[in-house]
Amino acid sequence: MAVSDFRSHRFSQWDGTQDPLGPDADELFSRLSEDVFHGWDFESALRRLLSQGWRDRQGRRLQGLEEMMEQLRRRRQQQLERFNLDAVFKDIQEKLDNVLRLERQGIDERLQQPMDESAQRVLERVARKRRETLDALSPEPGGAIRELQNYEFMNERAQQAFDQLLDDLKKGVVDTYFKEMTQQLQSMSGQDIAVLREMIRDLNALMRQKLEGVPAEQLQQNYDAFKRRWGQLFPDAPDTFDEFLDQLQRQMARMDSLMQSLSPEMRRQLMEMMDAVFQDGELQSELAQLAGALELLSPRQRLGNRYSFFGSEQLPLDEAMDLMGRLQSLEELERALREAYRGGELDERTRDQLREALGEDASRSFDQLQRITQRLEESGLIQRDKRGFQLTARGMRRIGQKALGDLFSRLKRDRFGNHAMQSAGFGGERSDESKAYEFGDPFQLDVEKTVMNAIRREAGEERRSVSGHLRATPGLAPEDFEVHRNEMLTRSCTVLMLDMSRSMPLRGYFYAAKKVALALDSLIRTQFPRDTLHVIGFSDYAREIAPSALPQLSFNEYVYGTNMQHGLMLARHLLSRYPGQNKQIIIVSDGEPTAHMEGAQAVFFYPPLPETFHKTLVEVQRCTRDNIVINTFMLESNYHLVQFVNQMTRLNRGRAFFISPDRLGDYVLVDYVAQRSRAA
C-alpha cells in the first residue's frame, strides 16, 4: 500500500466492536450522489440508504431501518393476534372463588364440631348470616373485595388467602407507578401504606415544582433531597430528576395503555377494584394527582396507547400489565429508529432493547448505519442541524465532481470539433501543441522539438557537405526554435436553462439534465473560476436556481407547460449584468414551447398556439440583438419541434443538437470546453 493510502485513514484503539474495514465513505457517497442525480434531494437519498440498508464490502447484507421497524410492527401485531383481555380478571375471580370456597368449607366444618345445644344454636345463627353475606356478594371482583374487607371470616385459611390476594393486588398497583418499590414494602400493612402515602406526597411536590417552572438546578437539588429521604424505596433511582420522571412516565404508561385497551365495563371494574384494595381516600387522591402530573409533563398527548387485541389466549391482570410494557417497549424502539433517520442516536438502554427484540444482527446493522453518518460527518461531506442531515459546501462540490467525472470518463480527447468564438481573451495557458517561433510569440520554448529540429537540419547539411561528420553538439539556428502554443482563453457568462415540465421525468430525461447541471457547475468552478454560470428551471414559469440548491433540485410531475419564453426573458436579464463578455444560453429540453406570458400570467395550451411560438421567437430575437448565443440540446425530435428549432437557429445563428439523454453530458461539456479556448 502506498504511503498516501496510509495517510488517508484514521486509526483508533481496537475495542472489539469495530468493523476492521468499516463503511467506505467514498463508495457510499457515490451511491448517494447517483440518487441525487435521479432527482432525490440529498436528505431523502440518505434516508433511503438508511431505510433500505445495503451490502458491505464482504457481501454481508445490513438491515435498513425500515426493515427493522417492519419487524417491530410484525412483532407487535403477533402479540395482538395472540392475546385478548376478555378474562383479565379471571385469575382474580378464581382466587376470590377459592377464598369463598374455603370460607364455606370452614363454616361447614365449624358446624360439625361437637358443642352444647346453646352454642350450636348461636353458631348456626352466625353461620346463616355469614352464608347470606357470601350469597349477596357483588358478582364483580372490585365490589366483592370491598365487601369482604368488612367481613369477619370464620375460616383462618380463607382469611389468609384473602389477605394474600389483597397484598398481591396492592403490590401490583404500586408496581404500576414505582418499579421494584414493592420489594421494599414487604407486607403492605397499614404502616407501609402510610409510608407510601407520605412518599407520594413529597413526589407530588416535586411534580408541582416542575410544572411551575422551578429552575432545573433547584429542582435537581430538591430531587437529591428526596432521594436522601426515600432512597431505600428507590435503590436504583437515576441520578437526575428528568431521568426519574421519564422512568415514572414509562411505568404509568403501562396502566394507561391497559385502561385504554379494556372495554368501558372492564375499565370501570378495574377502577373499582383498585379503590377497594386500598380503601384510603388520601392515598388515592395522591396517586390521582401523580398520574395527572405525569400526563401533563409527557411530550405525548397520552402516556399510553390503545391496543386492539383479537387473539384467543387469555391473560390475567399481572401478565396483561407485563404485556403492555412489552408493547410499549416495541413502540419506543420504533420511535427511536425513526428518529435515527434525522441523525438521532440510541442510548444504551434502547440498544439493549433492540438487541433483545431483534437479535444481534439487527444491533450490528444499526451500528453500521450510524457509522455511515459518522464517517460522512468526519469527512466534512454532511452536517447535522435541526432539519436532519444536510450537505456541506464540500459535499456539494463532491457531488458536482462526481457528475463531472462520470461524464468526462467516457470522452476521448478531441472527440468533438471546436466552434468559433465571438472574441478572444488574453493570458491563457500553455498548450501541449507547438509551432515554429515567430516574432512576438511568448518565448515558451519546446526544448525537445527545438533540439531535434537542429539535429535534423545539421544532418541534412552534413549529407550535402564533403566531411560527412556531425558535430557533438548541434548549433541552433533561428529556424530551429519551436515554442508551445498558448490557449487564448475567453471569459464567458452562461445561463443553463433546464426544462422541468411534466414530460421530462415521465420520459426519464430529468436524471440526465440534472447531472449535466451539476457537472457544468463543477467544471466552471474548478477549471474556469472567472466564468459565470446561472441555472434557470422552467415549466409553467421560469425561476433561477442557486448553484447550492442543485443537489436538492427536483421536479414537480404535476406541472404542465414549457414556458421557454419566460426562461429566455429571465436569462437575458441575468446576462445583461455582464457587458463585454461572451454570453450564451444553453437550453436543455424535450419539446417545443407550450406556454407563454400574458402580462404576469402564464398561458398554457397544447397543442401549442401559434402565438406561443411567435412570442418565444421574439424573445430569441432580443437575445440575438444583445449578442447572446443560444445553443439548444433537444432530447426528442418530431416535425413541429424540428421546425421550431430551425427557426431559432436561423434567427440567432446558434446551434442545435438532437441527441439521446445518455449523450447529453458529452455534448454539453465538450461544447462548453471547446468554446473556452482556440489555438493561437
What does the pLDDT read at residue 219? 92
Q: Which of 384-398, 431-445, 502-516, 569-583 has the highest mean pLDDT?
A: 569-583
Are residues 644 and 523 part of one domain?
yes
Position 402 scores a pLDDT of 64
pLDDT recorded at residue 387: 64
The answer as to whether 405 is a domain residue is no
Does the pLDDT value for residue 488 go beyond 70?
Answer: no
pLDDT score of 360 more than 50: yes
Q: Is residue 314 part of a domain?
A: no
Burial label for 143, CB within 10 Å (0-12, 13-18, 19+), is middle
Residue 670 pLDDT = 56
Both 145 and 197 in a single domain? no
pLDDT at position 515:
75
Examine the pLDDT at 348 and tell me if it is beyond 60. yes
Looking at mean pLDDT, say which of 110-124, 179-193, 663-677 comes out highest: 110-124
Q: What is the CATH number of the domain that holds 538?
A: 3.40.50.410
Q: Do residues 301 and 341 share a domain? A: no
pLDDT band (50, 70, 90) for residue 654? confident
pLDDT of residue 416: 37
CA atoms within 13 A on the CB side of 498: 28
pLDDT of 14 above 50: no
Domain count for the chain: 5
Across 363-392, average pLDDT: 73
Query: What was the pLDDT predicted at 222?
Result: 93
Give the per-residue pLDDT at 161. Answer: 92
pTM for the full model?
A: 0.53
Q: Give the C-alpha distances (Å, rounded to integers) separating 584 from 114, 202, 581, 631, 632.
A: 121, 77, 10, 7, 11
**Within a domain: residue 223?**
yes
Q: Which whole number is the average pLDDT over 502-511?
A: 75
User: How many other CB atoms sit within 10 Å of the CB of residue 70?
Assistant: 13
Which residue would you say has higher pLDDT here, 518 or 424?
518
CA 534/CA 528 separation, integer angstroms:
14
Q: Which helix (H) or strand (E) holds 313?
A: strand 313-314
Over the stretch 305-315, which tens digit does the pLDDT of each residue have?
888 888 888 88
Question: What does the pLDDT read at residue 373?
Answer: 74
Residue 214 has pLDDT above 60, yes or no: yes
Out of 33-47, 351-365, 508-522, least confident range = 33-47
Select from 119, 142, 176 the last residue of a domain. Answer: 176
> 654 and 542, same structural domain?
yes
The reply to whether 53 falls in a domain is yes
Cβ-proximal residues to 469 (8 Å cutoff; 6+ apart), any chain = 462
Query: What's the confidence (pLDDT) of residue 617?
Result: 93
Query: Helix crossing, 25-37 with 360-378: angle to 10°?
Result: 80
Residue 369: helix, strand or coil by DSSP?
helix
The reported pLDDT for the residue numbered 356 is: 81
370-387 mean pLDDT: 72
Residue 622: pLDDT band by 50, 70, 90 thresholds? very high
336 confidence band (pLDDT: 50, 70, 90): confident
Q: Which three cell numbers stand for residue 668?
A: 454539453
What mean pLDDT do residues 647-652 have?
87
Residues 6+ apart with CB under 8 A from 475: 454, 458
- pLDDT at 244 > cutoff 50: yes
Is the pLDDT score of 568 beyond 90?
Answer: yes
Helix, strand, coil share of the chain (percent; to 5)? 60, 10, 30
Residue carrying the nine cell digits 468564438: 421
Position 668 confidence tier, pLDDT thresholds 50, 70, 90: low
Look at 78 and 343; give whichever has higher pLDDT: 78
- Sorting pLDDT into bands at 50, 70 and 90, what band is 68? confident
Higher pLDDT: 210 or 465? It is 210
Are 479 and 341 in a shared domain? no
Domain membership flag for residue 235: yes
Give the residue, 368 or 77, on which the prediction is more confident.
77
Distance CA 672, CA 495 (A): 12
Identify the residue with better confidence: 405 or 3: 405
**Neighbour tally for 386: CB within 10 Å:** 6
Last residue of a domain, one of 487, 507, 527: 487
| Strand, helix or coil for residue 160 | helix
Better pLDDT: 610 or 473: 610
The CA distance from 294 to 29, in Å, is: 44
Q: Is the pLDDT of residue 412 over 80?
A: no
User: Residue 418: pLDDT above 50?
Assistant: no
Q: Is residue 669 over pLDDT 70?
A: no
Q: Are 40 and 59 in the same domain?
A: yes
More confident call, 227 vs 170: 227
Per mean pLDDT, which range of 342-346, 415-419, 560-564 is the poorest? 415-419
Question: From the centroid of its chain, how far is CA 379?
Answer: 19
**Domain assignment of residue 361, yes or no:** yes
Task: Report if residue 423 sits inside a domain.
Answer: no
| pLDDT band for position 411 (cuts 50, 70, 90) | very low
Same domain, 46 and 133: no
pLDDT of 680 > 60? The answer is no
Of 51-60, 259-268, 568-577, which range is least confident? 51-60
364, 482: one domain: no
Instruction: For residue range 432-460, list pLDDT tens digits in order.
Output: 667 777 655 667 788 888 888 888 877 76
pLDDT score recorded for residue 225: 93
- Residue 171 is predicted with a pLDDT of 78
Provide the mean pLDDT of the chain. 77
Residue 185 has pLDDT above 80, yes or no: no
pLDDT of 415 higher than 50: no
Residues 536 and 658 in one domain: yes
What range defines the domain where residue 25 resides? 17-82+332-390
Q: Which of 113, 145, 176 is the last residue of a domain?
A: 176
Reported as a pLDDT band with limits 50, 70 and 90, residue 525 is confident
Taking the C-alpha atoms of residue 80 and residue 514, their distance in angstroms, rounded to an integer, is 48
What is the distance between the alpha carbons of residues 443 and 481, in angstroms, rounded to a whole number?
Answer: 9
Residue 422 has pLDDT above 50, yes or no: no
Q: Are residues 284 and 254 in the same domain?
A: yes
Instruction: Specify whether 573 is located in the same domain as 663.
Output: yes
Are residues 502 and 468 part of one domain? no
Query: Is residue 585 pLDDT above 50, yes or no?
Result: yes
Q: pLDDT-based confidence at 9, cuts 50/70/90?
A: very low
Tell me what pLDDT residue 438 has. 63
408 within domain boundaries: no
pLDDT more than 90, % of the chain? 10
Q: Are 247 and 179 in contact (CB under 8 A)?
A: yes
Confidence of residue 625 (pLDDT cuts 50, 70, 90): very high
More confident residue, 253 or 278: 253
